[in-house]
Structure 1
Amino acid sequence: MTRSRPPIDLRALEAFVTVCETGSMTAAARHLHVSQSAVSQSIAALEREQNVELFDRESRPPRPNFAGRALLELAGPLLKQAHAVSSRIRDAALGQTLPVRLGCVDSFAATIGPELIRAMSGSARQIEMWSGLTPTLSQQIHQREVDVVVCTQPPVSDTRIAEAPLFSESFLAVASRRWLEKRDPADVDWSRLSFDLPLIRYTARSVIGQQVERLARHLNIDSPRRYEFDATDPLLSLVSANLGFAISTPLCLWQARHYLDEIIVLPLPDGRLSRRDFFIMHRHGEWDDLVDKISSLTEKILDEIIRPAFNRSLPQMPENALLQTRQSGKQR
């Protein structure tokens, strides 16, 4: 079996490129602030390791031969990447120059996300935000594809991952105002609604769809599967047309808030299955200050923007529909 050649030594490669660019080993040594013998030894070691000569030594000054010209052509991008890697490592060690990669579930990214970015726009910290499903986000933080995650299910226990409660929201029955107009106020509740209309569902592929389905079974809502949607917007379009009712949450309703004037919400019985919890996750010892900042800003956005808007548009929404569960400085 043929032995593979060792990888190219980057310092020797830099010496080789500098000799080619300056025209001599003496000039290269001055440029690199080393001795001429150090440059000569680096190039000799490079030729020995690769078992190839790189210069035509009969010319004066020595010029790269065919193999040398091939290496010179490849060396530029390689050295550039090596310098970029070195710079990124130094930046990471300094701790405040790398962008943070923030992954969020869709309903958070579409509602609190823009306000969060706006509030942090004046800081030196750059944020890269994208959305996804909770299982995908949990996998991404374990694989270091994201730095901080906001999701709606706690991860599988992992001592490397810090997890803290952020806030919780209640599931609500959502109906068209047309349905309300036809009913006696004394006969308006979720059970009457589920008797009159079919349940319009979130798709079972989503975490919220699975949560709603468990809650519906718990409440004995026996409704045929007719309509299922990945997003709240098309779901509320059918609800507002009085073609059915839905079970959703305040953040999802805020995501499709152009329908708020056409719908009403009714509280569902309290219980473990009746709430959706949000968590913020990151690796222990990493991004602690930023996680506290995101948590504080999220609380402020809920208090100053989203709750007041719901009080105006949906005054029947229960006071406990959005609850802060964050405990500053503590992880569960």
Structure 2
Amino acid sequence: MARLELKAVDKSFGAVSCAKGVSLTVEPGEIVAVFGPSGSGKTVLLRMIAGMFEPDDGDILVGGRSIVDAPPEQRGIGMAFQNFALFPHMSARDNIASGLRATGASDIAAKVTAMSRLLKIEHVLGHRPRELSNGQKQRTALARALIGNPEVLLLDDPLRNVDAKLRYEMRLELPSLLRRSSAAALYVTQDYREAMAIADRIAVLINGRLVQVARPEEIYARPASVAVARLFGDPSINLSEVSPVADQGRLTAAIAGTEIMLDRNERETNTRQRCWLGVRPDDVVVTRQNSGGAIPARVVAITPMHERAVLLLRFADGSEWLAAMAPEALEAGADEEVFVQFAPEAALLFDHASGERIGLPPRRQAA
């Protein structure tokens, strides 16, 4: 199989820039999720690789060979779309086989049967798309993309239009299915949980720029910027403006008038420089006990969220944080006074002006 390489790819439509110097490598058998907010350029990137759009600058290579000037059918690429894009007048069997027929492949019937068994849709091969459930449509589209053993596989948010139960099941099944194909897989999604569950690496795309490419746990624990940190986690990361100061070789910062020790030495940041301090809600501890370094707060509201309860906390200066914890761990109700703590290693520091992360806190696992 072949490696997919994007080299400084640019693409604009009039005054709107959709890709700005995008460089990315996907190895054979690797799954890279392209994740970012709506309008960040994710689908445009896939369509340039597939040959639907031509890049304004840069190069796209498969197996070391530029494919920019190659027609779509000669690029060795399989693609599954968000809206399935099945031929409505064809059966599921014919939809799956359509790509093979276009290339003049042999043993088409046997290949379709084998692929449909793999994706558990052999019982609906005679059905047309209007007779299929969304889950069956999604599996049919995947089968069509996979059956030709493409060198590169492009998946454009393929689970967006399926129900929650199937989406969860496919998050478990897709990684092994894609790795079995040995294709270099690029998987577009707007769901950070999906990206973290499926991908070997995540490429975070914001406003047409790749701002961080790393393993899922690395991006969660060490986001490159405030913008990346906000995209991962539900509830979103807490942020407070601070100006760290040196204290016997260590750094402290004040949140709502309470001094907090940071897990860094003073060489890692300029003292008294304005920063954003970020702490994820899962790392916030809420207690009735006033121990050293605890921040006084009031519980404004408690919202049940499945296996967790989310607390809205208000500090004395009017700023607010969120805490997420198991319901049985709650020690206080709404409108009660509490104290807020977090481990020093849980804090992330970001430059106030640029939003870029400062220092390298220890690794933590995603919640």
- TM range, smaller chain: under 0.3
Structure showing greater Rg: 1
The TM-score normalised by the length of structure 1 is 0.25
The structure richer in strand per residue is 2
The TM-score normalised by the length of structure 2 is 0.23
The structure richer in helix per residue is 1
